[in-house]
Amino acid sequence: MAKLRERAAYALYSIIAMYLFFLILDHALSLIFGYNFQPYGPHVPLGFTVWGHLVNGTIAISGAWFWLKLLSISRKKRYGLVLGPLATAVWLFIACWVPYTADAEHLIKNGSGAVLPWYVAANAAYVTIAGIAILKLVKKTKWRLAFLLALFAAFLLIHFLLYAPMFPEFQWT
């Protein structure tokens, strides 16, 4: 029972951390590009600003966990020469495909279509690095709370000092 509780805590901390990473990512993209990447408004389902990032973060951290687990298995098995590269190729395809399908139209509509390949690659790298960092740091109980508090503090600073003044029309829906 204790092992199950520990795994549940690990999963919950990982999901919360990736949720904060996604909030920071949307705010950072908005600041970099000068137009909003944070979904809100009447065309967005009620609460999407919160649950959309939670769902995306859960899927992303689950995918990163699964990818790292397959890499770990591939190092121990004789078919590792196939499993490791295949798992990495699938992970990278998904990590690139998701931001492309989610944001390509938004970037093109706002005149930033030329940076789309760089955007997709940077977004995939961000999610991959965040996933690895989360899954490594959150494993150790003593770092969990400090890591989440640091992420939350970073989000608050970015939101109130940079994002909110630039996008005063934004509302949490």
- Three-state SS letters, 82-140: HHHHHHHHHHHHHHHHHHHHHHHHHHHHCCCHHHHHHHHHHHHHHHHHHHHHHHHHCCC
Mean pLDDT value across residues 130-157: 89
Distance CA 160, CA 141 (A): 30
For the segment 5-32, what is each residue's pLDDT rounded down to a tens digit?
Answer: 888 888 999 999 999 999 999 999 999 9
Mean pLDDT value across residues 149-165: 94
pLDDT at residue 121 above 80?
yes
Distance CA 161, CA 171 (A): 16
Query: Average model confidence (pLDDT) for the chain?
Result: 89
pLDDT at residue 108 above 70?
yes
pLDDT at residue 88 above 90?
yes
Mean pLDDT value across residues 85-95: 94
Mean pLDDT value across residues 112-121: 94
pTM to 2 decimal places: 0.87
pLDDT at residue 173 in the model: 60
Mean pLDDT value across residues 54-74: 92
Residue 156: partners with Cβ closer than 8 Å, 6 or more residues away? none
